[in-house]
Structure 1
Amino acid sequence: MVLEMRERQEFQASDFALLLGNSSYDYGENESDSCCASPPCPQDLSLNFDRAFLPALYSLLFVLGLLGNGAVAAVLLSQRAVLSSTDTFLLHLALADALLVLTLPLWAVDAAIQWVFGSGLCKVASALFNINFYAGALLLACISFDRYLSIVHATQLYRRGPPGRVVLTCMAVWGICLLLALPDFIFLSAHRDERLNATLCQYNFPQVGRTALRVLQLVAGFLLPLLVMAYCYARILAVLLVSRGQRRLRAMRLVVVVVVAFALCWTPYHLVVLVDILMDLGALARNCGRESSVDIAKSVTSGLGYMHCCLNPLLYAFVGVKFRERMWMLLMRLGCPNQRCHQRQPSAARRESSWSETTEASYSGL
């Protein structure tokens, strides 16, 4: 992301200044030491790429993500009295995706110009982005675990428990995400970099802390949720294939497709982040060509990751049969508010999931 690349650029300048024995970046002093230090890598290529690529991409994703996830939330809220546990998790997932894309216009301006919104919005925007990034991954893991308990162990964790249990689980997920985003509230600020002649939204602690945060994001926001999803669905598919549960396989089609989309969209970005971490730790040699390639790859793959926020509503529309039905009913209700129109929709009161033709069947034991 632009924030990470500008932080790296500023850090390299400070590193160079430290080698010269001058913390104020005054390169005119200690000239005798400059023979033994190499200057920071130029960032013109990656920053110019970001200025051309990121504002347009973020603006497009903002519009599509807000409209798509708003439609998903509207459909689910119109059926809120009969939501299943899966529907409830997907409602919170749509909320997380919508809040994440709300931050994209700010980062588009940051990429095109500089950070112009002050320290307060720097903290809030970055924290909001990370909260919803973590929430999306953890909510998908919760859906996977719920399906796993229901099908593999015939345990109805949410359907037979207290009615508020699924909501409490979602609240716990949001609380964990808020804790993971605390460093943004505490350590981020808008900082004027005189050498770059720009204002940056960045952490005010050393590079080792930034590397630790990237490791935390990689592990908590991607690897652990992905491992939970992979294990749960591998066990589920094994059980259903052995029992020839074709009906339940069809019922799980949507959630499996959503998880696969998550993996395909976010894996490239986190592989690039892993390379960046290894370079920070010295496990991979750092040079200007590799660094520039990593920065550009991070911009491209992060854009692919953010597309996941817009992709989920499309998956629901094309894969979720009941979602299409509920969406059509909602549009009909908005276009024809008379009670006569509602009487033509006999399926409106059925207590079924909005996402697949037989999702409720997957709640029953084998």
Structure 2
Amino acid sequence: MYFEVSERQVLDASDFAFLLENSTSAFDYGENESNFDSPPCAQDFSLNFDKAFQPALYSLLFLLGLLGNGAVAAVLLSQRAALSSTDTFLLHLAVADALLVLTLPLWAVDAAVQWVFGSGLCKVAGALFNINFYAGAFLLACISFDRYLSIVHATQIYRRDPRVRVTLTCIVVWGLCLLFALPDFIFLSASRDQRLNATHCQYNFPQVGRTALRILQLIAGFLLPLLVMAYCYAHILAVLLVSGGQRRLRAIRLVVVVVMAFAVCWTPYHLVVLVDILVELGVLARNCGLESRIDVAKSVTSGMGYIHCCLNPLLYAFVGVKFREQMWRLLMRLGCSDQRGPQRQPSSSRRESSWSETTEASYLGL
């Protein structure tokens, strides 16, 4: 995407040729324009790669992500009278992922041709993308912390007045995401890139601001949520390993998948961004070959990150026995299935998470 990659500050005519460097990632907040004493590197290879790679990938992820997260939301909403705190967070996570993938067709057109949707939609699409990027990471951290308290400390902070507490938590999460997206509303616009001879959705503010936003996204949108998840799940695993039991071992495998999915999908991209920031700040020497490889790497690794939006329905819902049963019942009510399907003994009055691997795992908050 270009709204975070091709953003350039317009200076004077003599500097203009050294600006408007093209890049390829949806989360990149600037190129190496700090090196004004060197001519810009040719971007033909990375541009051609983007035009072939990004539209195909974004179109596929749009379909898969919308269907998967839509199914999760439909199942959870059908049980909204009995949602647990984890289920409520999962519902918000599905909404965040669905809204994120809704922006992908716009960026596919931007990569294939140019931005043809105007500055207004540029601001909205850019802000919406980043709001839901942050929301996904924060909600995963909330789920991890909720289970950590339930399992390690046997404390369920949402047991009393759960709707109010969960609602307040979600309001805080979305409020923070909106705050982090304010630069998108203010500085994003559809502007003409003279060197590329095309219009793209891009930022128009100083390099220092772009670098600060990239560092903020790296820390707040990835490192801190990952550290929270790693800390919580490490303690959860320690408790489950001590308690033992085959059912608990299945819950352990599920926990490992949860952490690894987020790390595997997003770590490569943020490592590439870190290298790009070091080049931008002059810590690493500027090299056209390196910059070209970084551009391509950002396209590939950002695609891996977007795949996480499609994996969430599988990792946080479809692996759950209870969720599959609820999905089957919903299909039967809609007339999409016959009466043959998974059968289950009536559950207790205790609230269970819709993604539970087993009844015991549900009791453990998984």
Tell me which structure has the larger Cα radius of gyration.
Answer: 1
Asked whether the 8 Å contact 2:43–2:292 carries over to 1, the reply is yes
Q: 2:14 aligns with which of 15, 18, 22?
A: 22
Asked whether the 8 Å contact 1:123–1:188 carries over to 2, the reply is yes
**Residue in 1 that maps onto 2:110:** 110
1:336 Cα deviation after fit? 7.2
1:242 Cα deviation after fit? 2.1
> Do the aligned partners of residues 255 and 128 (structure 1) sit closer, same or farther apart at CA in structure 2, a change above 3 Å counting?
farther
Matched letter for residue 241 of structure 1: L
**Residue in 2 that maps onto 1:92:** 92
**Residue in 2 that maps onto 1:279:** 279
> After the TM superposition, which of the residue ranges 249-258 and 280-289 deviates more from structure 2?
249-258
1:317 & 1:50 partners in 2: Cα distance?
A: 32
1:206 Cα deviation after fit? 1.6
1:36-51 alignment, distance < 5 Å: 37-51=37-51
1:332 & 1:293 partners in 2: Cα distance?
A: 50
Matched letter for residue 289 of structure 2: G
- Per the alignment, in what secondary structure is the counterpart of residue 261 of structure 1? helix
1:244 Cα deviation after fit? 2.8
| 2:363 matches 1:361 | yes
1:168 Cα deviation after fit? 1.4
2:159 & 2:300 partners in 1: Cα distance?
A: 42
1:286 & 1:170 partners in 2: Cα distance?
A: 43
Matched letter for residue 22 of structure 1: S
> After the TM superposition, which of the residue ranges 236-245 and 217-226 deviates more from structure 2?
236-245
The structure carrying a bigger helix percent of its residues is 1
Asked whether the 8 Å contact 1:69–1:313 carries over to 2, the reply is yes
Q: Percent identity?
A: 78
**Residue in 2 that maps onto 1:32:** none
1:91 & 1:252 partners in 2: Cα distance?
A: 23
Number of corresponding residues: 345
**Residue in 1 that maps onto 2:267:** 267
**Residue in 1 that maps onto 2:172:** 172
Asked whether the 8 Å contact 2:3–2:203 carries over to 1, the reply is no
- Give the aligned CA root-mean-square deviation in angstroms: 2.7
**Residue in 1 that maps onto 2:232:** 232
> Do the aligned partners of residues 193 and 239 (structure 1) sit closer, same or farther apart at CA in structure 2, a change above 3 Å counting?
same
1:328 & 1:347 partners in 2: Cα distance?
A: 15
Matched letter for residue 328 of structure 1: W
1:260 Cα deviation after fit? 1.9
Question: Per-residue CA shift, 1:200-250, capped at 9, x if unaligned?
Answer: 211111222111111111000000000000001111111222233654454
Question: Per-residue CA shift, 1:120-151, capped at 9, x if unaligned?
Answer: 11111010000000000000000111111111
- Per the alignment, in what secondary structure is the counterpart of residue 335 of structure 1? coil
Gaps of 5+ in 2: 19-35
1:125 & 1:173 partners in 2: Cα distance?
A: 19
1:306 & 1:41 partners in 2: Cα distance?
A: 28
| 2:45 matches 1:53 | no
2:226 & 2:296 partners in 1: Cα distance?
A: 25
Asked whether the 8 Å contact 1:50–1:111 carries over to 2, the reply is yes
Matched letter for residue 109 of structure 1: V
1:1-366 alignment, distance < 5 Å: 1-7=1-7, 22-23=14-15, 25=17, 37-244=37-244, 247-251=247-251, 253-254=253-254, 256-316=256-316, 319-335=319-335, 347=346, 351-356=351-356, 357-358=358-359, 359-363=361-365
- Per the alignment, in what secondary structure is the counterpart of residue 202 of structure 2? strand
Question: Per-residue CA shift, 1:322-361, capped at 9, x if unaligned?
Answer: 11111111111111799x99xx987489643211122431
2:317 & 2:141 partners in 1: Cα distance?
A: 21
1:247 & 1:348 partners in 2: Cα distance?
A: 17
**Residue in 2 that maps onto 1:30:** none
**TM-score with structure 2 length normalisation?**
0.87
Question: Per-residue CA shift, 1:276-317, capped at 9, x if unaligned?
Answer: 111111111111000000000000000111001111223346
Gaps of 5+ in 1: 27-35
Asked whether the 8 Å contact 1:101–1:309 carries over to 2, the reply is yes
2:255 & 2:311 partners in 1: Cα distance?
A: 13
1:196 Cα deviation after fit? 2.5
Matched letter for residue 209 of structure 2: G
> Do the aligned partners of residues 348 and 112 (structure 1) sit closer, same or farther apart at CA in structure 2, a change above 3 Å counting?
farther
- Per the alignment, in what secondary structure is the counterpart of residue 3 of structure 2? helix
